[in-house]
Structure 1
């Protein structure tokens, strides 16, 4: 029976009477009756709920139909009334005061002004959607003028039109929207002079600023554009800095074209505010209406006004604005580039950054543009804002490379001395080395640090290895800096003297070469003294006399060998064939070497 209870709706009647008795059949019938009653209740409940929804929807549709019909009827009544009152626009002008009273004219004038106010809001939205902020500003001023005229209407009539207040509130929202769109445009990284002038003129119309105020606003928006470039994620530091250079060049170009050279701002402004300018309303395609003739003349002839005299400027009165921009931009560039340059770990990377930035073309007649814009003489975006930062970073990288090299050398010296102490006879008595036969005694390569030439000088394998490791570090340093210094990659046959090039731009590219070469030489000299100090301290701290002698001999020979076996170290100190620093370094090494030999003599 439990199986039947769970599946009453799928009972086979013939099978039922075959398998069950009469009493069981009666029980099954009762279960079926109960199930039927339950289903009937569920059906009643479902139908009732749906019926309520249908009734509610029906009432809503009926109400909408009634309201829609009333609106249509009212529109027809208004249309019929207007058609009966006015047959054509021409007839209205000829109607005398005797045929239509002043009250009716005022009513029709009010109606057309309200329609214009609604239409203007729509047209402002269209202009904003088309990114024509200049036109949107003109239409806003016309709409504002229309509302000013409406405010002169009798208050009792205005109170009957609550829609008018909503239209005015929407216009205020549109004003904020226009300012927002203008800001977004002026803060674009790349923008044309025409677009910039149109958007600045939109600000002039809405706010009526002076030239100095407008210039300050322009500068502020260009600062934001530069910050946008700085804070944007770029694929490399080179790409970021190039984008910053382009942005600043664009700023200077816009400053010149909009405010100075062609005076685009003033040209565009004159086209709409001069006495011969076309009225704003005539630029629009108004919807056809017989009430058009009731538009007040003051609205038909409206054109924007600019209170200040329209004149081109040479920025003489606003030079301090440019000076402030240069100072603030310099700080912005430093803050924006400093962290990025710290990611550049070699001077060759700085070379690539410089090359990429200097490939950026400047506008034609760039010097004249800068001169007219009150910028410094021979102003160049790269050299004014970025070059010093690269020079400083190059110095840091050179110093860091040399310091790391010296630290590695100190570790190598310590390791070599410990090995020599354990087998001191290797350095105390070089007869085992000098008089032994080796297949490499005769070297095919003249500069190879092997063979008889080393044996005759008493430079053992330990000494040679130390010199090679030290010189390799300076070779890597030359490979890193050479391209930045001279524009070509380094090899041992390179001419390291500064080329005498007459091309001004080429020479200016390497404007910091002498400064960096001097820095490299001074770092070499300073860290050479660190080598001798380290060796002095190392030998003095050795207590055992035998070990002290062994260490002194190795270090004495090593210091003598540096001047002969480290040509790249020599090159770093001898740019422009100036050997003074290398001579100082050799003298320091020789003096320390002599003192070490004295320990052995004693």
Structure 2
């Protein structure tokens, strides 16, 4: 872009582009210029900052150099003073010898001078002998981890070497350069001993005796104050804590061991401070022993052969002992140093301890950590906090740092395990959806040998029943998916049970874990449903697979329910919240059903769209449709006795006996299509939604037929349509609870009644009701898939008290409701076949006389709203009685 702007030709730009484009180019050039200016300012600022930093560094170097020169001057002055002190003993001996020269003869003077030289020679040789023996002895003490002894011998060797170097100009020392070379061998021991001491203080396990030995060695080697040694000690314990958490390639330590070791370092550090530095600690006891007059000189640490040369050494060498001038720390000083160390440990724990806890993979490890942490001895934190003026529980590292991380890790294990199980289940559902392997009705309802349990124990077990699974469409892949998901949830429940059975965990923490498990389960299931809805499935096989596998999780995964409704062993900690878990379980089940109901409705709408009643039912009823579509009507003969003429009067009426053939065919085809699309049993809510949509379409179709001119002009057509609506109302059990459908169907029935003569309808009404009941009972078997439970005939209620005579009762929703009731028994006269119509004669009784015997009425079912007793066939015209008309009017 920059190159293009630099290569612009202004003349060409104004010739080939408009004003708006030139304005845009102008703005881009201005933006580029501003960016370059800002970049230049930044670059200049960085260079200026580097110059300032260099100037500050030079000034700091100048100050450091001046300080170093001053310290060198002090060192020279100290060395000069030390030289004078070392030669003090030798000068006193020389002065004494000189005073005796004058008082004695020359021979005695010569002899004493020779003795003094010989003594000086032997003393020098003894000192050199000590220097040659000290390296091996120091190494021996270092190997045996006696660091203070090694440090004391090193200081002793330095004292000897200093005295020999001060006398380095003498003739004897000129002939013995080994003294100087031996000091070159001993000098590196200062660094070696200090490194060994620091390494010992950095160990995970450090005893109080070893800690005191190391601290005393540091005080002796560096001649520093106790505060600096304390800071070094605390810094090394921080390094020990960090080394416990960091795994080295050469070590294969388990996570539990690393966590417990780090906790041990923290507790041991506080315990060491309590035993060694607080009050009259072990360190101050050792220092007091070293300062006492009974403390042996350093030469006593030599071997027995070297100790025998003590009489040859000068007193300043033979009586040398290390001196300590250490003031005891006050509780405020110790508390301040410890508080700074605690802040540092908090930062290290926040940066590294959580990473180590993230490696813990199961609850058993966490339980082992908690048990081991509580079983190990811990210092008296309350006493130390009061003495050092620290906050409450500030020294209890386990309660402040480890317990929150343990609780967080437990929750993370639960959440990650749940998320992994739910993710794997979702991926398996996606694989099943992509494969599109939907079992057809023949595969689902094909009888298999292992459908029924082989024993009573198997029947009473909690294992899911195969036949019951197949009624809901749960095939082998779905059952296997739920089995794997339930096994993963069983592991989560078992892991949590390990924590809940631990006696040291508080009841509040246990209840919190149970609540977290329920919340995690609810969150993961909600996310699963959201992901499933996000797929925007529209194909019928994919929708069936999605909803089957989702609903199966609730029914075939008992451990899923345990995540919401706690097991009996957990309820001792849940107490009053047990009912809350049941409410959450019911809520999540309702959520899944509600989300899956949306999938069901898509399938229902797809089936109804493919089999629309507008396309399969005649839209206009003419004579051809009446001959082809209207079923055979039944002819009924009414017989009454005329009071005036004293003779019987017969009248014949024709009443529909069954719905239109096209309606029956449409419902049959719809059921076949529904069985092909959804071979499983429809849940009640889905069936209700399907029926409501179906009835809505059917009522819209009948509304068009009702408003047609042919219906209004033909009583028979209106009567048949009225029969169809009464049949639909009875079969689909339209009640007042379904207010909209109830009002619609009754409004259409009233419109059709207006098209029928009221006197004729008065005669037809009772018979139509009985025919509707008979037709609905006869077609109950065919319409069983669509028939709601409330519409089951009275025969089903009788079967409810029996012992479920067929295996289909395994799919019943209760002890009194069956999905597939037995077919009703009807007489041959009631079967609407292709033969001639069988006439029935029904006697109408006289008002005051007993009824004349008539022909036998056909057998009917007992019970039900449409059933009548045997003598109910004797009726009379209520219309004639009401208006006081004679029977001649009906002829």
TM-score normalised by length of structure 2: 0.47
| Cα deviation digits, residues 194-229 of structure 1 (max 9, x gap) | 122122111111212222211112123333444554
Residue in 2 aligned with 1:211?
226
Q: 1:162 aligns with which of 177, 181, 189?
A: 177
What is the correspondence of 1:552-563 to structure 2 with a 5 Å cutoff?
552=543, 555-556=546-547, 559=550, 562-563=553-554
- Of 140, 155, 173, which residue of structure 1 is paired with 2:154? 140
Q: Are 1:566 and 2:582 an aligned pair?
A: no
Say whether residues 1:255 and 2:264 are aligned partners.
no
Which residue of 2 is the match for residue 592 of structure 1?
595
Greater share of residues in helix: 1
Please identify the structure whose Cα radius of gyration is greater: 2
SS of 1:317's equivalent?
helix
Q: What is the distance in 2 between the residues matched to 1:279 and 1:472?
A: 75
For residues 401 and 450 of structure 2, what CA distance do their matches in structure 1 show?
A: 63
Contact 1:398 1:477 in 2 (8 A): yes
Name the CA shift for 1:529/1:300 in 2 (closer, same or farther; >3 Å): same
The alignment covers a number of residue pairs equal to: 479
Q: Which runs of 5+ in 2 are unaligned?
A: 1-95, 567-573, 605-689, 694-891
How far 1:331 sits from its partner (Å)? 4.9
Give the distance between the partners of 2:434 and 2:183, measured in 1 at CA.
Answer: 92
Going from structure 1 to structure 2, the CA distance change for 1:113 and 1:199 (only over 3 Å counts) comes to: farther
| 1:129 and 2:143 matched | no
TM-superposed deviation, 1:459: 6.3
CA distance in structure 2 between the aligned counterparts of 1:563 and 1:159, rounded to whole angstroms: 100
How far did residue 483 of structure 1 move?
A: 0.6
Q: d(CA) in 2 for partners of 1:398 and 1:363?
A: 30
- Long gaps (5+) in structure 1: 1-91, 488-500
Separation of aligned partners in 2, 1:290 and 1:332: 54
In the alignment, the residues of structure 1 paired with residue 307 and residue 220 of structure 2 have an alpha-carbon distance, to the nearest angstrom, of 30
Change (3 A) 1:289 1:514: closer
CA offset at residue 421 of structure 1? 6.3
Deviation string for 1:334-390 (max 9, x for gaps)? 66656655554433443344444444x215756546765777644444444444444
Match of 2:207 among 175, 184, 192: 192
Q: How far apart, CA to CA, are the structure 1 residues paired with 2:153 and 2:463?
A: 84
Query: Is 1:221 paired with 2:233?
Result: no
Q: For 1:109 and 1:376, how far apart are their aligned partners in 2?
A: 66
Contact 2:153–2:301 (8 Å) recurs in 1 = no
Distance 1:374 1:119 in 2: 54
Q: Is the 8 A contact 1:395 1:519 kept in 2?
A: yes
Q: CA deviation at 1:137?
A: 2.1
Q: 1:581 to 1:264 in 2, by over 3 A?
A: same
**Structure 1: distance between partners of 2:308 and 2:464:** 106
Residue 326 of structure 1 corresponds to 342
**Residues 1:534 and 2:493 aligned together:** no
Cross-structure match for 2:613: none
Distance verdict in 2 for CA 1:120–1:332, change over 3 Å: farther
Aligned residue number for residue 505 of structure 2? 507
User: Counterparts of 1:238-317 in structure 2 under 5 Å?
Assistant: 238-260=256-278, 262-275=280-293, 277-281=295-299, 287=305, 295-309=313-327, 311=328, 313-317=329-333
Change (3 A) 1:215 1:513: farther
- In the alignment, the residues of structure 2 paired with residue 590 and residue 396 of structure 1 have an alpha-carbon distance, to the nearest angstrom, of 29
Please tell me whether the aligned partners of residues 260 and 372 of structure 1 are also in contact (alpha carbons under 8 angstroms): no
- TM-aligned CA distance change 1:352 to 1:288, over 3 Å: closer
Which of 381, 388, 399 lines up with 2:415 in the alignment?
Answer: 399
Could you give the per-residue CA deviations for residues 81-122 of structure 1, whole angstroms, max 9, x where no partner exists? xxxxxxxxxxx99x9653346755653454344234324432
Looking at structure 2, the residues matched to 520 and 393 of structure 1 have their Cα atoms a distance apart, in angstroms, of 13
Alignment of 1:354-503 (within 5 A): 354-359=370-375, 361-362=376-377, 365=380, 368=383, 377-378=392-393, 379-417=395-433, 422-423=438-439, 425=441, 432=445, 438-440=451-453, 444-445=459-460, 447-450=462-465, 458=472, 460-461=474-475, 467-487=482-502
Cα pair distance change 1:571/1:153, threshold 3 Å? same
Contact 2:500 2:510 in 1 (8 A): yes
CA RMSD of the aligned region, Å?
Answer: 4.2
1:475 Cα deviation after fit: 1.7
1:478 touches 1:572 (CA, 8 Å); kept in 2?
A: yes
CA 1:266–1:125: 2 relative to 1, 3 Å: farther
Structure 1 residue 406: Cα displacement: 1.8
In the alignment, the residues of structure 2 paired with residue 240 and residue 405 of structure 1 have an alpha-carbon distance, to the nearest angstrom, of 29
In the TM superposition, residue 285 of structure 1 has moved relative to its aligned partner by: 6.3
Deviation at 1:248, TM superposition (A): 3.6
Deviation string for 1:157-202 (max 9, x for gaps)? 4444423322332331333332233234333333321122122111
Q: Give the deviation of 1:478 after TM superposition.
A: 0.8
Alpha-carbon contact 2:417-2:492 (below 8 Å) kept? yes
Q: Are the counterparts in 2 of residues 109 and 294 from structure 1 also a CA contact under 8 Å? A: yes
Compute the displacement of 1:268 (Å).
Answer: 0.8
Instruction: State the distance in 2 between where 1:286 and 1:534 align.
Output: 86
Change (3 A) 1:175 1:556: closer
**1:295–1:100: structure 2 CA closer, same or farther, 3 Å change rule?**
farther
Q: Report Cα offsets for 1:229-285 as digits up to 9, x if no partner.
A: 443613532333333333443333323222126511111111112455443346656
Q: Report the CA distance between 1:551 and its aligned residue.
A: 4.7
Alpha-carbon spacing, 1:166–1:408, altered in 2? closer, same or farther (3 Å): closer
Check whether the contact 1:398–1:520 (CA below 8 A) recurs between aligned residues.
yes
Q: Kindly tell me: are residues 410 and 264 of structure 1, through their superposed partners in 2, closer, same or farther at Cα, counting changes over 3 Å?
A: same
Secondary structure in 1 aligned to 2:452? coil
